[in-house]
Amino acid sequence: MNHAPSTIAGLYYTHPACLEHDPRTRSPGHPDSPQRLLAIEHALAARSWPEWEHREAPAAGVEQLELVHTPRHIREVEQLCAAGGGALDSDTFVGERSFEAALRAAGAACAMARALMAGEVRVAFCAGRPSGHHAEADRAMGFCLFNNVAVAAALAIARLGARRVFILDWDVHHGNGTATAFYGRADVLFASIHQMPLYPGTGALQETGAGAGEGYTINLPVPPGSTEELWLSLLEHVVLPAALAFEPDLLLLSAGFDGHASDPLAGCCLQSSSFAHMACLLRDAAAEAQLPVGVVLEGGYNPQALGECVRDTLAALGGQGEARRGAPWLEQTARAAAVLQAHWPLATP
């Protein structure tokens, strides 16, 4: 990889088509509205960051999607959209324009991976809709059509020269689709911090991978009401030590912001500053390992809070703020470390 210096803080990928995916046309009151992206753009415009270069997301090709998804699944989504839209499951709806939006969201992640692996920049963000981390190889679910971050990771390994990719998912819902995609593989380390119990009901601590992938899945469930103290503790003492020991070539973040205290779909108590603190830790770990960082938008259903969280996360990834280290060893952290020490060199309290 060529890691030439860059004069910009990062790349920001999006496309107008992502605003045209609107599940509310089929399900009034659906939480995944285009207003989510508009709120992000409004929050970023208010901060005026000219050093982030905006790029139009290309459409992903079928050959890229098939790195993760079956041809049957891709056809099913395309045909339903072409027929005017409908329901893929009880809470995942599409309209006529949703297929292009999904191609652009996945294409943004692929273009981001290419730019990062080519050394154009050290950090990039994909503001795409629909989200992806619940989508499985042959199934759309949880508002997700194609698994954007999984496609980017698979592309990086299959076509872009990456030997190993680390994916962190801090969406409050478990990224079951991403976990399943790589559950039997040793070239992708997947770590998720998520609320449990909560949709989709997967992601127990004991689910650590299978076969060649044993140990390469790190699930860190947290109870409702969890605050940043626990999230920072798990990130500092479990996730990042394992990630650095894994020695990846690329770090991808499934950035859901529905762990925010005001989010209507979950019960954790993070603030926008909490995501900034986590991003600072992630940024410094990536710098230590000389890793490029790619961020893919997932959930977050209070638009104002979402805009603030993305703004503060991008500011941190771009270099603002100092990482807060020395998080306490909590009961959940010690329990997770005890389970995962069989696979990773984790300290004990």
**Distance from C-alpha of 154 to C-alpha of 338, rounded to nearest angstrom:** 30
Residues 6+ apart with CB under 8 A from 174: 192, 194, 196, 198, 200, 201, 202, 203, 219, 221
- Give, rounded to a whole angstrom, the gap between the first and last alpha carbons of the chain: 37
Backbone phi and psi for residue 150, each to the nearest 5 degrees, phi listed first? -70, -40
Longest CA span, the chain? 57
SS3 category, 34? coil
The Cα 72–Cα 153 span in angstroms is 21
Euclidean distance between CA atoms 135 and 185, whole angstroms: 18
- For residues 223 and 321, the answer to whether their CB atoms sit within 8 Å is no
134 catalytic, yes or no? Answer: yes
Tokens of 228: 């940043």
* Cα separation, 80 vs 89, whole angstroms: 12
Count Cβ atoms within 10 A of the Cβ of residue 86 and give its class: 0-12 exposed, 13-18 middle, 19 or more buried. exposed
For the record, the structure tokens of 201 come out as: 């009901």
Residues sharing a CB contact under 8 Å with residue 26, sequence separation 6 or more, in sequence order: 85, 86, 87, 93, 94, 95
Q: Which residues pair with 53 in a beta bridge?
A: 11
Question: Does residue 59 contact residue 128 with C-beta atoms inside 8 Å?
Answer: no
Distance between CA atoms of residues 37 and 12, nearest Å:
13
> Which one of 134, 173, 237, 343 is the catalytic residue?
134
Q: Are 299 and 260 in contact (CB under 8 A)?
A: no
- Which residues participate in catalysis according to the annotation? 134
